[in-house]
Every structure is written in structure tokens, then in C-alpha cells.
Amino acid sequence: MNVVIVGGGVVGLACANALAARGASVTVCEAGTLGGGSTGRAAGGIRTQFSTRVNVELSLASVPVWESFEAEFGVDIDYRRTGYLFLAREEETAASFRENVALQNDAGGDSRLVEPEEAREFCPELRAEEFVTATYSPLDGVADPHSAVQGYSRAVDDAGVEVRTKTPVTDLEYDANESLWRVETPKETLSAEYVVNAAGAWARRVGRLAGVELPISPRRRQMAVVEPERELSRTVPFTIDLDTGAYFRPEREGTAVVGGHFSDENPDADPETFDESMDLGWAAEAIERADDCAAYFGPETRIRNGWAGLYAVTPDHHAILDEVRPGFVVAAGFSGHGFQHAPATAECVAELVAEGEASHVDVSALAADRFDAAEGETPTLRERNVA
């Protein structure tokens, strides 16, 4: 079986690895460099704390891969299971936390509600008086997306996958008589029984080449690497103030990653021309909001560097993981969760191609036609757009 994967980020490479393991002949077409799109600008969070079962299950199915990644792929991804700490300022948010923890535990997670004072055990400089409750899971953590791309790249090379960088796909045409896709690139036409659209922020454009309109929008998001005013231990969790949208986590060499989705950040960016640099005004606001959450950050916090990347966002902030046309599989629109869900996504895509349906995780809720159904006909998925 011949498969062409469009997109050489972590999702595309993970899919290539899973398909090659099932005996498929795989070609990856990447318009730029491997991991050079959204993967290379991701925050690296890996969490099981979601508000919908499908996202929880994708995370739980992915965690074992991240845990064993170095042993299996021979690359240290700096995986640290230091947890995620979610914080609520408002009673309405606290009520949703209680519902989410029940759902997460029912799905097999290990999250729990904690009092704000108790949360200082995980985040000593937390301004506990500002919050009404929190949730924490020891299953959550962070890893380095760049290293993950390196590991998957080595694996697919060893498996005989043909990886073509600087090779954009310019057209897709389906031959129903032969059940083959003709995949146009600047140098040649490829033939494949299956095409996997793992193009992230470019997924809508790739879908249009195949005659499919995907409700996936590229959204610009920013992050800053800072030197905190007070020492931030590497054991502090990935901390998210859900009501303000601010987040922070420790990074190497005493630095911290600070971010948040609280500003007008170009809701429909052009992935070819968007500004990849960080806005200093946004960074100042991000540090101020992080300081409102925990006393690591103050006027002496120094900005080391920063960047902007793209989320591939759907209307309900959930991925599309579905065969939307014969032989055309979409694995995109993760709305910021693509890195952490890549291992489970890859297994599901391989099952869709080899077996006709996914069984690794029940991804029926991620079918593309959920956006076409009348209200109430399919479950309504909702997640806050956080790291």
C-alpha cells in the first residue's frame, strides 16, 4: 500500500512511523523543513486534563510513548512528568473543574481537585489567595518537540520512509477508476492509495486541493522565554490560570516559558506571511499576568527571547481525525494539542488506512461531518484554547 503524507511536523512523522510499521510504502512531502511549522514553536505540554473524553483518551494513549521515547527512538526528549496545575478564580470555572476531574478519572486519568493553599506544595510562589480551587495531575508534563521530531525522523528513515523536504504538494486529484490519488509536486507526480493531510496550519489549503473544505483556521499564538525574578524550580508544574488565560512553565537554565491567549492575535493568520516574531507589548502583558498568578515574576523579570507560531483551530477546538474522502485522511486541526496527541493520532491514522476504522482510541467524535450536522444531532465538543 502506497501512502503520501502531506506535512512533516510531529503528527506527519508519527503517522509515517506507524504506517511503515504496518508495511505501508510511505512518502512524506514537507513544504519546508521537518518540524519547521507549528511543531517547532510548540510549548511542549503533555496533559491528560481535558474537558472531553476523546482528548483525555488521546492523551492517555500517547503518554506511554512519551515515557518510553528515549528507549525506543534513541533520542532524549527531556520528558519531565512534573504535572499540570490548573487554577480557577471564578466559581463557574471551579464548577467546570469538578466536572472535568470526574470525567478525567472515569476515563482512566489521575487528576484531583486541590485547595489553593495545598497547590503551593507544587507551586511554592503561587498567589493562593487569588484562586478558589485548582486541579492537578501527576500524569502530565512537558517534553521537547524539536527532539521528538529528531527521534521520529530517525525512525522513519530506518523504516525506509521517503522524506522529501522543500516539496510542497501543489495539487491532488482522485482517480475513482483506479482508486488512486495523483499527488502533484513541483518535480513529479506521485501516486498513492491514501493521502494523509497532516499539514497543520496549512491543512485547509491542502484540503481544498482535494476538493474538501475543512473548517481549520490558522491562529497566531505567542510565547516568551524569560528569566524570572525569583528562582523557578524545574519541578514546578505547567501552571495555567484558566480565567485570565495566562500560563507559565519552567525551562532550562533557570528560565521560564510564559504565554497566554488573552490578546487580539490575528484570528485568521496567513501561514505564509504571518509575523513570527514576538510582540514586546504582548510579552510585557504576559509577564504581568503570570506575576498576578505567582510571585516568580516581577519588574526584574528579563525577556530572553520569544516567538510566534500557529495553532490550527477548528470551531470546537478539537481535531479532525477522519477519512473525509475515499483514501483522503485528515489528521489536523488539533487547536494546540497536536504535539502531545501525535503518538495516539498516528496509531489511529494507521488503523484507518490499514483496517478502515480506528480502534486504538474511539475517535468517532472527531469526524469531519460533525460540523455539518444540525445542532443536537452530534455531541458538542468544547475545550478552552489553552496550552
Q: What is the per-residue pLDDT for 372?
A: 82
- Looking at the structure, give the CATH architecture of the domain made up of residues 2-44+145-216+316-371: 3-Layer(bba) Sandwich (3.50)
* Cell numbers for 51: 474537558
Each residue's pLDDT, cut to its tens digit, for the chain (387 residues) gives 999 999 999 999 999 999 999 999 999 999 999 999 999 999 999 999 999 999 999 999 999 999 999 999 999 999 999 999 999 999 999 999 999 999 999 999 999 999 999 999 999 999 999 999 999 999 999 999 999 999 999 999 999 999 999 999 999 999 999 999 999 999 999 999 999 999 999 999 999 999 999 999 999 999 999 999 999 999 999 999 999 999 999 999 899 999 998 655 456 788 888 899 999 999 999 999 999 999 999 999 999 999 999 999 999 999 999 999 999 999 999 999 999 999 999 999 999 999 999 999 999 999 999 998 655 555 567 676 677
CATH code of the region 84-138+217-310: 3.30.9.10
Across 187-301, the runs of DSSP E, i.e. the strands, are: 189-192, 194-197, 217-227, 238-241, 246-250, 256-260
Q: What is the per-residue pLDDT for 375?
A: 53
DSSP 177: T
- CA 91, distance to chain mean position in Å, is 28
Candidates 306, 230, 313, 234; CA nearest to 266 is 313
DSSP letter for each residue of 65-97: HHHTHHHHHS-----B---EEEEE-SHHHHHHH
Q: Which amino acid, 382?
A: R
Q: Domain-by-domain residue ranges, the chain?
A: 2-44+145-216+316-371, 84-138+217-310
Q: What is the per-residue pLDDT for 30?
A: 98
